[in-house]
């Protein structure tokens, strides 16, 4: 008897979950005819039933993958990429070879430092980064010049209009005498959002260090080092 459509599993979602990749990357594998179901080449949008044999690049997909989660304290100067960009090293230069299959969750640019999560669990990465989940991120930010009270109010109360939409940040002074150092809390994660928000008002961010990402904090992890974390 043919399985009911409700019993079928989306192939791209399953590949993303098992291989620790995005669904787009899974679709690319399918589109390049690298994936087979029961010996037949899979097509985009394919579904399969439990017990079907799935192969990727000729190898049977192992559904017993053990998920791994790492919190890395990224130093300034490193890029969140597998490929070196110019003279800049990558975060994988800080990790043992056995962890090079993990993918970064919530990237930081080269000039920023702090907590970066890495995992082979595609669903975890999706839940941590998709805007609908609104994961809280906390940063220590140092500006080149004092932030004027009016501009603080504009950012916190009204938001700043950027080319990709309004940006609203929660700002807290680190101390009562310094208006250059701020604790910034946000629930989005657009590209260079904090730098662009301050930049729209004429400020330069000299330091940006992420201390918290969702339920995970940097804690005592030293720059360039990492810890294996338990998400349960």
> Known catalytic residues?
109
Specify whether the CB–CB gap between 37 and 44 falls below 8 A: no
Q: Which two tokens stand for residue 225?
A: 């080092």
Q: Count of alpha carbons within 13 Å of 6, Cβ hemisphere only?
A: 0
- Say how far apart CA 232 and CA 229 lie, in whole Å: 9
Please give the backbone phi and psi of residue 41, each rounded to the nearest 5 degrees, phi first: -60, 130
CA dihedral 118, 122, 123, 128 (to 10 degrees): 40
Other beta carbons within 10 Å of 155: 24
User: Taking Cα atoms as reference points, which of 106, 80, 115, 72 lies closest to residue 189?
Assistant: 106
Long-range contacts of 58-66 (CB under 8 A, 24+ apart): 61/15, 61/18, 62/18, 63/18, 65/18, 65/19, 65/20, 65/120
**Separation of alpha carbons 190 and 64, rounded Å:** 34
Q: How far apart are CA 227 and CA 94, in angstroms?
A: 12
């Amino acid at each position: 008897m043919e399985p009911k459509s409700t019993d079928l599993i989306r192939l791209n979602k399953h590949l993303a979950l098992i291989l620790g990749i995005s669904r787009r990357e899974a679709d690319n594998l399918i589109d390049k005819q690298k994936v087979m179901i029961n010996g037949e080449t899979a097509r985009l949008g394919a579904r399969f039933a439990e017990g079907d044999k799935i192969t990727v690049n000729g190898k049977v997909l192992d559904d017993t993958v053990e998920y791994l989660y790492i919190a890395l304290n990224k130093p300034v100067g490193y890029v969140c990429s597998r490929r070196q960009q110019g003279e800049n090293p990558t975060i994988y230069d800080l990790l043992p070879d056995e962890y090079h299959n993990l993918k970064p969750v919530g990237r930081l640019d080269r000039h920023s430092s702090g907590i970066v999560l890495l995992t082979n669990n595609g669903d975890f990465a999706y839940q941590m980064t998709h805007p609908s989940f609104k994961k809280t991120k906390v940063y220590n930010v140092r500006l080149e010049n004092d932030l004027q009270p009016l501009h603080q109010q504009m950012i916190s109360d009204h938001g700043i209009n950027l080319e990709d939409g309004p940006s609203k940040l929660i700002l807290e002074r680190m101390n009562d005498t310094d208006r250059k150092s701020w604790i910034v809390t946000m629930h989005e994660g657009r590209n260079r959002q904090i730098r662009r928000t301050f930049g729209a008002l004429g400020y330069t961010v000299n330091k940006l260090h992420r201390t918290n990402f969702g339920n995970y904090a940097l804690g005592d992890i030293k720059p360039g080092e990492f810890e294996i974390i338990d998400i349960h």
